[in-house]
């Protein structure tokens, strides 16, 4: 993609802390990352919007994981959009960019003109963290509800982590005089650091699923409500436009709370697929299974759903009975 304007804070996640209240957060701007993700598939607009929202959530949440860890977000549903999957790979070394990839599977004939989240039916929202070899992966899930993927993520943090969390997101297609139309996204994630709460301890709250407001009380509740009111004043152009740097936005919203910012984390579109990984995934199949996968041209082929890479392999070189 050729763009006429390069914005310094695009494809970055900026961590911050509000010193006068016990809260932390991140500001994310995605541009080239979304282009890399969405150009792999010719998604309908409703599906593009869901993938963009999921990628933005992944960037905001993933910034907290350690080097070389992997965070995955996944939606599984009975709706027209059956699955959305994203991966965030922590940097290999300090100062290097993190990598994000994403894709969705859907039934085109079931899509409607309704809002993007209406294309998602009954199902669940999941967060998984892979800490590397020898470590047990972590997984937490919450039902799909509340009208948006960001609301599902807020419910997840309240229910599974007892962390009051709020997202304010904006995403859509943007164009300028010197650049083609393309997707941009921006958002803020805000979290209240946890304290012992009788509601959190008992698992009780407003309804069947805990919400952020159920986890704070007294002065904490007052501060949380006030900060959320301030966050509610943010405008779409402040989140995705070229004129307001993330640092200026934080000062505009929370200057009385003395926001302290840390080093921004660059993020890029990136996939980890390779021929070796494809061979490894095929190693569980017998020669008979591989024979069923072999094309009329006598090859075994595989495509990566995340990046579109195509692999063409000799059937005798794959499977657990492969000849050496």
What is the C-alpha to C-alpha distance for residues 62 and 69, in angstroms, rounded to an integer?
9
- pLDDT at site 248: 95
- pLDDT at site 298: 84
In a 3-state reduction of DSSP, which class is residue 82?
strand
Q: What domains sit in the chain, N to C, each tagged with a CATH number?
A: 12-269 (3.55.30.10), 276-317 (no CATH)
Q: What is the pLDDT of residues 268-312, one digit of tens each?
A: 998 877 778 777 777 777 778 778 788 888 888 877 777 777 778
- pLDDT at site 286: 76
Give every residue of the chain whose pLDDT is below 70, as ranges: 1-6, 175-178, 194-214, 216-217, 320-324
Nearest to 249 by CA among 84, 12, 14: 14
Length of the chain: 324
What is the C-alpha to C-alpha distance for residues 172 and 186, in angstroms, rounded to an integer?
10
pTM: 0.83
- pLDDT at site 2: 37
- pLDDT at site 201: 36
- pLDDT at site 206: 41
Which of the 8 DSSP states describes residue 275?
H
Say which residue the tokens 């934080």 belong to.
250
């Amino acid at each position: 993609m050729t763009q006429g304007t390069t914005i310094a804070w695009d494809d970055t996640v900026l961590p911050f802390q509000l010193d006068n209240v016990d809260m932390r957060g991140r500001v994310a701007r995605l541009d080239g990352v979304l282009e890399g993700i969405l150009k792999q598939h010719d998604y309908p607009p409703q599906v593009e919007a869901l993938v963009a929202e999921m990628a933005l959530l992944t960037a905001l949440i993933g910034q907290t994981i350690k080097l070389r860890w992997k965070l995955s977000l996944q939606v599984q549903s009975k709706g027209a959009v059956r699955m959305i999957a994203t991966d965030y790979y922590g940097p290999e070394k300090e100062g290097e960019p993190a990598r994000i990839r994403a894709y969705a599977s859907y039934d085109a004939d079931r899509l409607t003109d309704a809002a993007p989240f209406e294309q998602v039916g009954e199902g669940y929202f999941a967060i998984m963290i892979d800490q590397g070899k020898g470590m047990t992966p972590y997984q937490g899930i919450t039902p799909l509800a509340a009208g948006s993927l960001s609301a599902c993520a807020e419910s997840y943090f309240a229910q599974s982590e007892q962390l009051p969390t709020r997202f304010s997101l904006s995403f859509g297609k943007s164009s300028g005089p010197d650049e083609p139309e393309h997707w941009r996204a921006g958002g803020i994630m805000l979290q209240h650091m946890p304290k012992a709460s009788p509601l959190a301890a008992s698992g009780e709250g407003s309804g069947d699923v805990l919400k952020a407001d159920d986890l704070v009380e007294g002065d904490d509740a007052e501060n949380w409500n006030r900060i959320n009111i301030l966050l509610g004043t943010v405008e779409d152009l402040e989140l995705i436009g070229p004129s307001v740097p993330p640092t200026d936005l934080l000062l505009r919203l929370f200057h009385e709370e003395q926001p302290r910012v840390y080093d921004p984390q660059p993020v890029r579109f990136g996939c980890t697929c390779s021929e070796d990984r494809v061979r490894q995934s095929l190693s569980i199949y017998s020669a008979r299974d591989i024979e069923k996968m072999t094309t009329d041209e006598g090859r075994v082929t595989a495509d990566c759903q995340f990046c579109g890479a195509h692999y063409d392999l000799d059937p005798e070189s794959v499977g657990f009975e492969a000849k050496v």
